[in-house]
Amino acid sequence: MVETLDPSSLTNRSFLYRQHIKSGAVFAEMGGFAVPLNYGNPDSETEASSNMGLVDLSHLPRTGFKGWDAAKWLVSNGCKVGDGSNVTTEQACYSRAMRLAPSEVAILGDLNAESSLVNDLDMTWSSHRSDGVFHVPRASTNCWLKVTGKYAPSMFAKICAVDLRPQVFGIGQVAQTNIARLNCIVVRHDIDAVLTYDILTDCASADYFWSALLDAMEEFSGKPIGISALKSLSVNI
Amino acid sequence: MKIIECPLNGPRNAQEFVFGGDVINHPNPHLISDDQWANYVFIEENRAGVVQEWWCHVPTAYWFIAERDTVKDEILRTFDPSEIYKERIDYNRPEVEAQSQDTKNNKVGEVNSTNKETGSSI
């Protein structure tokens, strides 16, 4: 029996921690959260990560701002924001700013939670509120999942009407659409040569969404993978 | 599958949208009778032909305007509301607006006798 951290011993838990316990996750503490390192079979998860895997990244920082002055306010606070809608702009610290509309931006932290950009922006907003900028607390309202592997576009074709194949849906491109009948933000974020997609969706439906994705992934031998298997995809994370 | 072209997100499944009613000029509720207001709120013209309608792309909560032929049920064009609505519209009560205008005039020490507008409508 592998020794594992009990998620209920920490105050910060993923929306999906009960699902992870059921799947036999081995937890470790990261940034105050209990994060699944693996689900008991690290080797098969490493293999699944480049074919068809699902990772819960809800422990990572994320935030959002909307309003007619949001983009200007973000730029003045050191966050690069693209001009067009539904595009991602990489930050120096591996964080990403997704411009969802002319008046809305969502920011995703880096996969190691080392960047302070998200926290800095949240702190700046709470101490220096500005007209025309409104906070969207995505860390407490959205769960963050990542689908990895070459079969991801085929899997999405079953549950999403938008064409997410790599030849059509470029790196950093954002689609705001329905996946498995839930409103989602999906962004392509390749890790080295492996195709991966980040998904933000309503945290209250996290349990349903996790199960729906695993069900759709079954025919591709997809499975939940821990953070260790995700990190095996690149030496940079 | 029926497709609607969202001005923000591109072509999307029609299931992702909700209908928001006809695009009609908003009357100033402080300047019209209750009957006229009820007419504005509840009565649809239900015209056969090309109409402008509000639609919302639900995943992004983005409202836009579609020109739709109600006879053929065909969407001819979709566009951002900023093409029509260029400025924010406020409907202050006439007395509130007159009062705020007086305060403003007192501050600058002069009376603008030409400003008799008591409300706005498109």
Residues A193-220: tens digit of each pLDDT: 999 999 999 999 999 999 999 999 999 9
Interface test with B, best of A87, A131, A177 (most B CBs within 10 A): A177
**Mean pLDDT along residues A85-96:** 94
Sign of CA pseudo-dihedral A166, A98, B61, A207: positive
pLDDT band with cut points at 50, 70 and 90 for residue A163: very high
pLDDT at B44: 87
- Measured distance CA(A139)–CA(A160) in Å, rounded: 24
pLDDT at B99: 62
Place of tokens 């070459």: A150
Q: Domains of chain B (ranges plus CATH)?
A: 3-108 (3.30.2270.10)
Contacts of B15 in chain A (CB under 8 A): 178
What are the tens digits of pLDDT across the range B70-95? 999 999 999 999 999 888 788 877 66
pLDDT band with cut points at 50, 70 and 90 for residue B112: very low
**Mean pLDDT along residues A30-42:** 92
Interface test with A, best of B1, B6, B9, B12 (most A CBs within 10 A): B9
Give the 3-state secondary structure of residue B3.
Answer: strand
ipTM value for the complex: 0.83
Give the 3-state secondary structure of residue B64.
Answer: strand
List, as ranges, residues 96-125 from A with C-beta within 8 Å of B. Answer: 100-101
